[in-house]
Structure 1
Amino acid sequence: MTTALETIGLWNIASAQPDRTAIVNPDGSEVGYGALADKANAYARGLRELGLDTGDAVVVLQPNSDELLAVYFAALQTGLYVVMVNWHLVGPEVAYILSDSGAKAFVAHERFADVAIAAADEAGLPASGRFAVGRIDGFRDVGELGAGGRGRPEVLTAGSPMLYTSGTTGRPKGVRRPLSGADPDSVPGASTWFFGIFGLKPFDDHVHLCGSPLYHTAVLNFASISIQLGHTAVLMDRWDPEEMLRLIERHRVTHSHMVPTQFRRLLALPDEVRAKYDLSSLRNMIHGAAPCPPEVKRRMLEWWGPVVTDYYAATEGGGTMITGEEWLRKPGSVGLPWPGSVVKILDDDGNELPAGEPGAVYMQMGSSTFEYHKDAEKTRKARVGNLFTLGDVGYLDEDGYLFLHDRKNDMIISGGVNIYPAEIENEMVMHPKVVDVAVFGVPHEDWGEEIKAVVQPAPGVTPDQSLTDELLEWVRGRLAKFKLPRSIDYAEELPRDPNGKLYKRKLRDPYWTDRKI
């Protein structure tokens, strides 16, 4: 099998091995490299014919499919910014992204027709720039893009994703990196380097399983780089734990990008279900995006072996990584900085703190730069010199391994004592009657804040006082007294996105808004 680096990249592989499988769609249909490249070429021609020039933006509102990735690669080869939209957003939220990004084209799926129409109308996007996969009133069929032409567009220069933050504290902000001007046929060294961190090499019989929505930064990166490196990408539409196991066995999956919520649902499967699938093909199951309770991580390592890898990273650049074997020696850590990445712990005045002392986590990735689109103030507040922060609090141990406490905004200060909710959540979520839990501070007249837990009970469990007593007794033997929740409320479901990120502010804000003054 050919593994020479010069043969990687969608268009190079399409030329040499057009029938090689690039994508397995959620419906099981397979798309070869040649067919994917042809579709990306047509869409690229069409966007250029529409008048989009280098640096312009196209917005995509689609489920996981070869159609979404074809638009991505169309933008990649023509110097466009491509914005993948969270399909849980409503019309005005999508309209804001259309307007803020300056989008000149919008490609939506008929599944999200109502939102797409409302957003395009509110943003004032002309009908000529609206395209649909399927049928959407007022939108042109996406098949019209580049129809009648052949080959690749005249202008070939590398485009880039323009990624929007989740917007849990106000409107989302786009992270817009300067275009490199590179040849889109040359896979960036950063891509092969990044996959190399996880031991993932070009070709090498790799198969990637994509179980989360491609509008997430890391999910899109892992799927698109996999294709660029000759790895088949198996796409799921809606993640299901047993279906994931079936696909791993069926397609001999080697790697995936996961979140702790998925681990918990996998572990909840009956033993006989977990045992009936052959998972021996797995080489590296990578997780990030949300903190993983240590006991969940330990149980996954016992089941899958040391193929479970944790990393901490940011859309803005930089990060850390820890293998399963390392984690067993440093439980709870998110690892050492990537090669070329800098991680420092700073106090509120920007001074570097010694090993073992918690503070704000700051990172830098080589000479990488970024800005929050149209928000210079947010960019300024996130930086100290060339370092930036996501607002996380943690510390480095004496060996340089990073341990995270929590987001600074989520930290509870009760009676002058700093309390990190993640520590409490990690204990409570392991109770068999708890599906999910969020811990945060609520107003207290004397202490400033007191600890509140909101629990999603397991199916069939009654959320009553006896359950509250049971849960409080559970954590009483595991945590210091000052870390114990003072009260527990219940919810049918906690507000998480499909990638596992908890929108804690949606739970916390009503307790402060309703405060009597």
Structure 2
Amino acid sequence: MESGPGRVGSRPGSGPDARRIARGPAQGPRPGHAARWPCPVCRPHVSERAVRVRAAPASPRRLHHPRPPRFEAEKWLESVCGHKPDWAFLVPTQIQQVWDARPRRELRTACSSLRLFLHSSAPCPPQLRHRLAAALGPERVAEYYGTTLYDGTFSPYTSRGAGGSPLPETELRIVDPSRRPVAAGTQGTIEGRSRAGLISHRTDQPCTGRSEWQSVGDLGKRIKDTDHVEVTDVAVPGRAIVAGVKVAVAETHDTLSAHPAVRGCEIRVSPHDRFGSVLSAVVHTEDPALTTSVLRTWCAQRLTPPQRPHAIELRRTAAHDHTTLREGHARL
């Protein structure tokens, strides 16, 4: 499982604040960059490993703030102000929301405890990254790249040149469509493998990696005469990054198509200022009783918020009638 965005970390503690941070699905990390869950399962967090190995090796333990069902910038800032964490991890769309929530001076004060502000999931727009570094200090900003299949790279804002260097026990390569490695500077598909434990397992079993090369379809290139890898595109065909979460468009399509009153549907991916991109649906039906509200309830019972259509257009088709109903945007 990939580490979720909206996380904050703090030094180990045993007071009420530490217990309060640790509540929720992730009950706090175990030593060795793993989170403890209510069930006896070890789920490593790759973004935490990046912090532990490269940014804060002297503080191997972290307490994660529970990830809410919907990210809210003001609540995130309240949490940072209240708990004084060492580091925080957000995706670019969330960083933009935080940036828009408060004046620059207030943001600097609210984030004063952070030694590291880590962003990931998608390449951060250069203008936003530069503003963030100007507000917090360039030495406190870094980018992490990784996936649910392999660990990745860590790139401080102050590093020279493009791309990031692989984390220890991580191998990355760039390949062509035939999975043959390509020359430095040539764009191709990123493949990786990690000897670090990134596989969920029972706590009485050892953490292990996978020896085979794996990929999620992201594109990148290796920087000549370095070990750096630059990620150039994470827009994998058939997938969309919604509010920092990569979702499969086919899952939304199949879920809507499974409704007994739906005769067909199309799913579209559109850019969005706040969420990066969103899904919208055009649904065809012959049932006069079907409404967009019914479809929203259907989706809410089967899909996560990023997977649900941001807007639904309902097209009714009958022998002598053709009408179109449009609904306002949903909240993620």
Structure 2 residue 19 is matched with structure 1 residue 23: yes
2:270 to 438, 454, 469: 454
Inter-partner Cα distance in structure 1 for 2:234 and 2:93: 18
| Alignment check: 8 A CA contact 1:340 1:365 kept | yes
- Letter of the structure 2 residue corresponding to residue 402 of structure 1: V
Corresponding position of 1:359: 188
CA deviations 1:449-475 (Å, max 9, x no partner) are: xxx9834468xxxxxxxxxxxxxxxxx
Corresponding position of 2:178: 349
Aligned CA distance change for structure 1 residues 387 and 457 (closer, same or farther; 3 Å): closer
Normalized per residue, which structure has more strand? Answer: 2
Aligned CA distance change for structure 1 residues 200 and 281 (closer, same or farther; 3 Å): farther
| Alignment check: 8 A CA contact 1:356 1:397 kept | yes
| Alignment check: 8 A CA contact 2:53 2:167 kept | no
Deviation (angstroms), 1:246: 3.7
Inter-partner Cα distance in structure 2 for 1:316 and 1:349: 20
- Letter of the structure 1 residue corresponding to residue 228 of structure 2: Y
Corresponding position of 1:130: none
1:247 alignment partner, SS class: helix
CA deviations 1:16-41 (Å, max 9, x no partner) are: x854742335xxxxxxxxxxxxxxxx
| Alignment check: 8 A CA contact 1:256 1:284 kept | yes
Corresponding position of 2:227: 400
| Alignment check: 8 A CA contact 1:23 1:234 kept | no
Corresponding position of 2:62: 226
Inter-partner Cα distance in structure 2 for 1:339 and 1:249: 32
CA deviations 1:333-361 (Å, max 9, x no partner) are: 3x111122111001122211011101110
CA deviations 1:245-274 (Å, max 9, x no partner) are: 343333332211111111111222353773
1:260 to 92, 108, 112: 92
Aligned CA distance change for structure 1 residues 364 and 293 (closer, same or farther; 3 Å): same
Corresponding position of 1:312: 145
Corresponding position of 1:274: 106
| Alignment check: 8 A CA contact 2:173 2:181 kept | yes
- Letter of the structure 2 residue corresponding to residue 308 of structure 1: V
Inter-partner Cα distance in structure 2 for 1:457 and 1:279: 24
Aligned CA distance change for structure 1 residues 290 and 193 (closer, same or farther; 3 Å): closer
Inter-partner Cα distance in structure 2 for 1:313 and 1:241: 24
CA deviations 1:60-85 (Å, max 9, x no partner) are: xxxxx615345x88xx89xxx9889x
Corresponding position of 2:121: 289
Inter-partner Cα distance in structure 2 for 1:192 and 1:503: 27
Inter-partner Cα distance in structure 2 for 1:406 and 1:361: 10
Deviation (angstroms), 1:322: 0.2
| Alignment check: 8 A CA contact 1:83 1:162 kept | no
- Letter of the structure 2 residue corresponding to residue 161 of structure 1: R
2:179 alignment partner, SS class: coil
- Letter of the structure 2 residue corresponding to residue 313 of structure 1: G
- Letter of the structure 2 residue corresponding to residue 252 of structure 1: K
CA deviations 1:270-307 (Å, max 9, x no partner) are: 53773683432210111212332222212111111121
Corresponding position of 1:196: 53
Give the 5 Å matches for 1:120-135: none
Q: TM-score, normalised by structure 2?
A: 0.55
Runs of 4+ in 1 over 4 A off after TM superposition: 17-21, 81-84, 191-194, 233-236, 367-371
- Letter of the structure 2 residue corresponding to residue 160 of structure 1: C
- Letter of the structure 2 residue corresponding to residue 365 of structure 1: S
| Alignment check: 8 A CA contact 2:99 2:107 kept | no
Inter-partner Cα distance in structure 1 for 2:117 and 2:104: 22
Q: TM-score, normalised by structure 1?
A: 0.37
Aligned CA distance change for structure 1 residues 304 and 409 (closer, same or farther; 3 Å): same
1:23 alignment partner, SS class: helix
Inter-partner Cα distance in structure 2 for 1:325 and 1:286: 13
- Letter of the structure 2 residue corresponding to residue 406 of structure 1: D
Deviation (angstroms), 1:159: 4.0
Inter-partner Cα distance in structure 1 for 2:81 and 2:129: 22
Aligned CA distance change for structure 1 residues 408 and 349 (closer, same or farther; 3 Å): farther
| Alignment check: 8 A CA contact 2:25 2:37 kept | no
RMSD over aligned Cα, in angstroms?
4.6
Count of aligned pairs between the two proteins: 234
2:134 alignment partner, SS class: helix
| Alignment check: 8 A CA contact 1:320 1:336 kept | yes
Inter-partner Cα distance in structure 2 for 1:397 and 1:356: 6
Normalized per residue, which structure has more helix? Answer: 1
Corresponding position of 1:247: 79
Inter-partner Cα distance in structure 1 for 2:145 and 2:213: 16
| Alignment check: 8 A CA contact 2:104 2:135 kept | no
2:93 alignment partner, SS class: helix
Aligned CA distance change for structure 1 residues 457 and 288 (closer, same or farther; 3 Å): closer
Inter-partner Cα distance in structure 2 for 1:346 and 1:249: 44
Give the 5 Å matches for 1:28-47: none
Inter-partner Cα distance in structure 2 for 1:364 and 1:276: 37
| Alignment check: 8 A CA contact 1:344 1:362 kept | yes
| Alignment check: 8 A CA contact 2:108 2:135 kept | no
| Alignment check: 8 A CA contact 1:392 1:408 kept | yes
Structure 1 residues without counterparts, runs of 5 or longer: 1-12, 26-64, 85-104, 106-157, 164-190, 204-224, 228-232, 372-382, 412-420, 423-439, 441-451, 459-495, 511-517
Aligned CA distance change for structure 1 residues 284 and 200 (closer, same or farther; 3 Å): farther
CA deviations 1:478-504 (Å, max 9, x no partner) are: xxxxxxxxxxxxxxxxxx977xxx769
Corresponding position of 2:290: none
Aligned CA distance change for structure 1 residues 410 and 18 (closer, same or farther; 3 Å): closer
Aligned CA distance change for structure 1 residues 402 and 454 (closer, same or farther; 3 Å): same
* Relative contact order, higher structure (CA 8 A, sep 6+): 2
